[in-house]
Structure 1
Amino acid sequence: MVSLLTLPSTNHVWPSSSSQLGLYRHGPFRRSISFVVRSAHLPSTSAPPCEVAAETKKGFLPVTDKKDGYTFVYPFGWQEVVVEGQDKVFKDVIEPLESVSVNIIPTAKQDIRDFGPPQEVGETLIRKVLASPTQKTKLIEASEHDVEGKAYYTFEFLAQAPNYTRHALTTVCIGNGRFYTVTTGANERRWDKMKERLKTVVDSFQIFNV
């Protein structure tokens, strides 16, 4: 398996658990995090073209990024925030561990399968990228699905910190010369209540050519 540590750029960072927005890159890639809240309840882009529009479901709002080539939906009521190094972040104001973030980094690879099977890639990403070194992690499930000839890997995992455990879902794929990562999750105590909505978020994530 090709080392995933050779893939990220030091100019990108995952959300910090210290900001309660999710899990974050550590080691030589760790950087400080800052964020500001944007207006709530409004899609972050103009109406998406119908050919790439995220399916809008009741209780969700669509996001389409025409510049970077991806689309997904997020729960109504979450606010968009700006996090250094992240392309998009939406979070719940009351339950800050309930969030979704999109990260994009350049890659020369053409297919996510070039890095290995879902189980191996998931374990490596969770241990080295998606959780801090102080958190205990557990990969629950790793799967692969195909959308219009493009392979996507999805991981379900736990990240245990001293004062909380986050139950998370991550989907990764490669296209447009980029490695896309979308991660959503919730406090473990709210997982049963939130899991269907969070699965809707990651399942809706799709990239398109730009």
Structure 2
Amino acid sequence: MAVSSLSMSLASSTLPKKLNVPNNQSSSTRVTAFLPQNSRDITHDEGNCKRRPILLGVGALALSLFPASPLFAEEIPQNYTAFVDAEDGYSYYYPSDWRDFDFRGHDSAFKDRYLQLQNVRLSFIPTVKKDVHDLGPMEEVVSHLVKHVYSAPTQLPTVFDMQERTIDGKNYYTFEYVLTSPNFSRAAFATIAVGNGRYYTLIVGANERRWRRVRNQLKVVADSFRLLDI
């Protein structure tokens, strides 16, 4: 149902809180809006209430719904789409030709249409901590995650780079790592942050053999992750 056929007040009360905003020349123009036709447009995975994102191009309507989101204050990079989850308090960019898929235990995930191991996924868990600094020094936190959380016993973990960023008063750790197995290796970026009573983890990666070709593209995804106040 096109939003132009509805009054602004009706649209504002009906629009979903998970949005996909495609790249365009201006982040507030040339976007088409769609609304769910019925409750079946929102699905729930057992044990992990996951709502499928519904494509929404928003123009001025999105600006009125999410005035605090940095995604609507800047132009979305060429060939990327912005995913905004106002209900769960986060946003990030992903390549526009990727499609969403269900990744167990994750709140959202997108993957390359042809290379399934080339993907981004985001998860979060409750925490009483207020900031990523509360987890500990970046070097210790990253080393522990890569060696003891992300890798399996048969994998050799290697960390290549760590970065700390502060954006709008919120702190993020982003790091690059490789997990090497006897027959397979995977490289990835991870960005972690704490806010809204949650510990968020975004991981975007690919087969190591393709890493040189896609590294810069995937770094944009890792660096785009933002916390939204909820």
Tell me, yes or no, if structure 1 residue 152 matches structure 2 residue 169.
no
Q: Which residue of 1 aligns with 2:98?
A: 78
**TM-score normalised over the length of structure 2:** 0.69
Task: Identify which range, 99-108 or 158-167, moves more after superposition.
Answer: 158-167
Q: Which has the higher contact order (CA 8 A, sep 6+)?
A: 1
Measured against aligned partners, the alpha-carbon deviations of 1:142-186 in whole angstroms (never above 9, x if no partner) come to 121101111100111001123221111000000000000000011
CA-CA distance at 1:51 after TM superposition: 3.0
CA-CA distance at 1:196 after TM superposition: 1.1
Mapped to 2, the partners of 1:97 and 1:136 lie a distance apart of 18
Mapped to 2, the partners of 1:72 and 1:114 lie a distance apart of 23
Q: Which residue of 2 aligns with 1:200?
A: 220
The alignment partner of 2:91 has SS state of strand
Q: Which residue of 1 aligns with 2:68?
A: 51
Tell me, yes or no, if structure 1 residue 179 matches structure 2 residue 212.
no
Counterpart residue type for residue 68 of structure 2: E
In the TM superposition, 1:116-195 aligns within 5 A as 116-195=136-215
**TM-score normalised over the length of structure 1:** 0.76
Mapped to 1, the partners of 2:140 and 2:115 lie a distance apart of 31
Q: Which residue of 2 aligns with 1:106?
A: 126
Aligned-residue identity in percent: 38
Contact persistence 1:156–1:170 (CA under 8 A): yes
Measured against aligned partners, the alpha-carbon deviations of 1:9-29 in whole angstroms (never above 9, x if no partner) come to xxxxxxxxxxxxxxxxxxxxx
Which residues of structure 1 form unaligned runs of 5+?
1-37
CA-CA distance at 1:88 after TM superposition: 0.6
Which residues of structure 2 form unaligned runs of 5+?
1-50
Counterpart residue type for residue 69 of structure 2: V
Task: Identify which range, 175-184 or 122-131, moves more after superposition.
Answer: 122-131
Contact persistence 2:106–2:122 (CA under 8 A): yes
Find 1:91's aligned residue among 104, 111, 135: 111
| CA RMSD, 1 decimal | 1.9
Equivalenced residues, count: 170
Q: Which residue of 1 aligns with 2:84?
A: 64
Mapped to 2, the partners of 1:103 and 1:141 lie a distance apart of 22
Would you identify which runs of 4 or more consecutive aligned residues in structure 1 move more than 3 Å?
Answer: 43-48
Higher share in helix: 2
Higher share in strand: 1
Counterpart residue type for residue 81 of structure 1: F
The alignment partner of 1:83 has SS state of coil
Mapped to 1, the partners of 2:92 and 2:114 lie a distance apart of 22
Mapped to 1, the partners of 2:99 and 2:89 lie a distance apart of 21
CA-CA distance at 1:53 after TM superposition: 4.9
CA-CA distance at 1:102 after TM superposition: 0.2
Contact persistence 1:174–1:180 (CA under 8 A): yes
CA-CA distance at 1:116 after TM superposition: 1.4
